[in-house]
Structure 1
Amino acid sequence: MNPELMPDNPYLLLTPGPLSTTKTVKSAMFRDWCTWDDEYNAIVQQIRQRLVELAGGAGNYTAVLMQGSGTFCVEATITTAVSDAGKLLVLATGAYGRRIADIARRCGINHAVQDNGELAPPDPDRLKASLKTDPTITHVAVVHCETTTGMLNPVEAIGSIVKAHGRHFIVDAMSSFGGIPLDVEKVGVDYLVSSANKCVQGVPGFGFVIAKEAVLERTQGQARSLSLDLYDQWRTMEAHHGKWRFTSPTHVVRAFSQALIELEAEGGVAARYSRYCGNHRILVEGMQRLGFHPLLPAELQSPIITAFLSPSHNAWHFNQFYDALKAKGFVIYPGKVTDHDTFRIGNIGDIHAEDMCMLIDAVGDAWPSTIVFSRRDR
């Protein structure tokens, strides 16, 4: 099908993924592929190579693709990387950091959690103290962009501490990879985890792990699951030139290959980051004009997704607001913060400045009482 003949979506997804994709990415899924075919496996190999290059890991890193959502890849990483003799320290700043800890708990992995709350980044002094006083800690994990709030955690500073103490560093870059510049070599990342349907702007169906090859090589036999064995998945892809151990999501893989081509055509990660930052600026400035306030201070905020405080006026009902915006062509996210009533708006995917300007107009129409009530009620 000609992409220009495809029907338009009735709305834009202003979410952290799945997100709005281009017609050309969607049209790539119209062809069927065989998982054993050399042409298809060559596409897989090209994807793996390109991911390593995007991460700044050429020469020392490898990429492993894994069926399922991003959480599948996080679980594959945690349950393969941390041995029975190891211990994981989780730096939690929201629901997705806590999910890493929950994976460790359910799988019987020795772990500890430093939970600094949802409104503050990890405490570097507390991290240093833990690594200094607890020699059993072998791995440290953190979420780069915590989409509970939109917080961007300082992985560069955390990585320097982890490396200075000789531990392994796991970064959940689910909602940041491909949209925020990050060099795994410079940061000292041993495992970076992300998903096809985030900033690379593919569709859901698989995730990937960009791992330091020398570290991954030492994990043979450590996995606590057959299907989520990251080492075995890697060895199969290496030995069979892109072959997956079990049935791969062929259509999604082909769409992701097209998404990588479009990322490069846009100008790479730096250009996409610039677009996302522009989208975010229009969003925040426009919402503030209408009386909405971001949950986080600007210095902690990522350009990926923003949590806004809900109006305190009794006329406010999120579901009504959601439905009104959806009717105007925009789908947003409910809040996920424990102690504050919030909602979230993302600006990644095939979203541009003109889309954000139209969103602000739609918000003004959907909640006109914001301007009247916001100052008095807060």
Structure 2
Amino acid sequence: MNAHNPRIEPPRLGEPYLLTPGPLTTSYAVKEAMLVDWGSWDGDFRAMTREMRDRLIALLGDGSDAFDCVPMQGSGTFSVEAMLASFIPKDGKALVLANGAYGLRAAQTLDYLGRDYQLLDKGDYLPPRGDEVAQILATDPAISHVVAIHCETSSGILNPVEEISEAVYAAGRKLLVDSMSAFGAIPLEASKIRYEAMVSSANKCIEGVPGFGFILARNSELEAAKGNSHSLSLDVHAQWAHMNKTGQWRFTPPTHVVAAFLEALRAHEAEGGVTGRGRRYIRNRDVMVSGMRELGFETLLDNRWLSPIIVTFFCPADPNFVFSRFYELMKDKGFIIYPGKLTMVDSFRVGCIGQMDEHVMRQVVVAARDSLREMDVAAATPPEAALQERAKLAS
């Protein structure tokens, strides 16, 4: 593999490509790394954990020396909850910026935690903007933290975290970023975008497998987080302090997943890091979106807000189109797509990340074309009402 032309391996044994925002299609090398058993307290595994943490910190670029990395067992949502509970004090208040399911999930998490918050819900079509954040912060001095979703994968919106950050720190508040589906492919350099902590997971743009998430946080915030968490197992400060003292995870780590993730990190570096990985995903998106539009499909979002992570398409208006049938036909051709997660219109999603390149994305378009023919769908044009709803809400 090299930075300009990484080798993309087809799935083995008839496995489908996962056109999802994670779990995703992984390389042979990542899969094979899980064939070895590791002792969780052994020095070799401690060294693996240290290397993994160091590599993740380095992805923040200039300014990364102010940060440390705290891996956390469980799904990405576990790590989001750990971040919110550990860095928002019990007497703090958050402004949650939502434009899809994951912003709303952050608000739901704060409900469970008993943390005070205000919700800015922009719906499915539009991102929160810096001027909106500035206005809310100016009218509510009790807000101590702002929670932003980097890429909202329910719609595919890439949110403008840089301008959000500028508004947050101009108002003297703190920013927490859920970069679950963006980190590793979309820059989040500590010297260019200010935030106190961000969170992602192993099975996203680094192209590992599910099993843990990780929080990259400023050392000052980690030190100040002692006693904030509601949870024994999700206490970021306690995990951080224990790891730095012993080199070990506090509780049984996902050893095989860590080994696979290290292999994925090395491949990520060989591809050219964040820039190289992002370049491939952008090309995947552009080729796939162009082909799907030629078939008549419409994207939920304008080009300006399309992320290179996952793209949402309206379902066709043709009465012969039934998503469940379309899903099965695409799966039969080797591609697993995602159902929509919108409340207003029928939709589906196609991911651009994982072990795929533009050649695979052209095959996706051909599979979609053939599936429409098998369903006797004359055109992929969406319902006029869906387009009108998009125009109304985006205006």
Interval of TM-score (by shorter of Structure 1 and Structure 2): over 0.9
Q: CA deviation at 1:164?
A: 1.1
Q: Can you list the C-alpha shifts for 1:7-51, whole angstroms capped at 9, x where unaligned?
A: 435210000000000000000000000010111011101111111
Q: What amino acid sits opposite 2:133 in the alignment?
A: L
Match of 1:221 among 219, 227, 230: 227
C-alpha distance in structure 1 between counterparts of 2:97 and 2:249, whole Å: 32
- DSSP-derived class of the 2:29 partner: helix
Secondary structure of the residue aligned to 1:85 is coil
- Whether 1:63 and 2:69 are equivalent positions in the alignment is yes
State the number of aligned residues: 373
The yes-or-no answer on 1:319 pairing with 2:324 is yes
The 10-residue stretch of structure 1 (18-27 or 179-188) with the greater mean CA deviation from structure 2: 179-188
Structure 1 CA distance for aligned equivalents of residues 90 and 298 of structure 2: 46
Alignment of 1:35-74 (within 5 A): 35-56=40-61, 57-74=63-80
Which deviations, in whole Å up to 9, do the C-alpha atoms of 1:126-159 show, x marking residues without a partner? 2112211211111100110000110000000001
Tell me what 2:121 maps to.
115
Deviation, structure 1 residue 374:
4.0
Aligned to 2:181: 175
The 3 A distance-change label for structure 1 pair 218 and 362 is same
Q: Shift of the alpha carbon at 1:299? A: 0.2
SS at match of 2:65: coil
1:376 deviates by: 9.3
Q: Find 1:210's aligned residue among 205, 213, 216.
A: 216
From 305, 320, 334, the equivalent of 1:329 is: 334
Q: Which residue of 1 aligns with 2:361?
A: 356
Q: Which runs of 5+ in 2 are unaligned?
A: 1-8, 385-395
Match of 1:194 among 193, 200, 219: 200
Which secondary structure does the structure 1 equivalent of 2:182 belong to?
A: coil
- Partners of 1:261 and 1:36 lie apart in 2 by 23
Alignment of structure 1 residues 4-19 onto 2, 5 Å: 7-19=12-24
Measure, in 2, the Cα distance between the counterparts of 1:116 and 1:266.
36
Change (3 A) 1:221 1:320: same
- Contact between 1:291 and 1:371, CA under 8 Å: does it hold in 2? no
Amino acid at match of 2:213: G
Indicate how the Cα distance of structure 1 residues 26 and 313 shifts in structure 2: closer, same or farther if over 3 A, else same. same
Rounded Cα–Cα distance in structure 2 between residues aligned with 1:325 and 1:364: 10
2:82 corresponds in structure 1 to: 76
1:230 equivalent in alignment to 2:243: no
**How far apart are 1:171 and its partner, in Å?**
0.5
Q: 2:94 aligns with which of 66, 88, 99?
A: 88
Give SS of 1:362's match. helix
Q: Take 2:257 and 2:60, find their aligned partners in 1: how far apart are those partners? A: 21
Q: What displacement does 1:370 show?
A: 8.1
Q: Which runs of 5+ in 1 are unaligned?
A: none
Q: Is the 8 A contact 1:283 1:356 kept in 2?
A: yes
1:138-191 Cα distance to aligned partner (Å, 9 max, x none): 110011000011000000000111111111110000000011122133210111
Match for residue 141 of structure 2 among 126, 132, 135: 135
Alpha-carbon shift at residue 85 of structure 1 (Å): 1.6
Q: Which deviates more from structure 2 when the two are superposed, residues 137-146 or residues 126-135? A: 126-135
Which amino acid in 2 is paired with 1:314?
A: P
1:296 matches 2:290: no
Scaled by the length of structure 1, the TM-score of the pair is 0.96
Q: Is contact 1:69-1:206 (8 Å) kept?
A: yes
Residue in structure 1 matched with residue 310 of structure 2 by the alignment: 305
Query: RMSD of aligned C-alpha atoms?
Result: 1.5
Q: 1:370 to 1:232 in 2, by over 3 A?
A: farther
Q: Tell me the SS of whatever aligns to 2:203.
A: coil
Identity over aligned pairs, percent = 46
Rounded Cα–Cα distance in structure 2 between residues aligned with 1:137 and 1:7: 50
Q: Distance in 2 between matches of 1:55 and 1:43?
A: 19
Q: Which amino acid aligns with 2:52?
A: I
Deviates more, 1:34-43 or 1:119-128: 119-128
| 1:184 counterpart residue number | 190
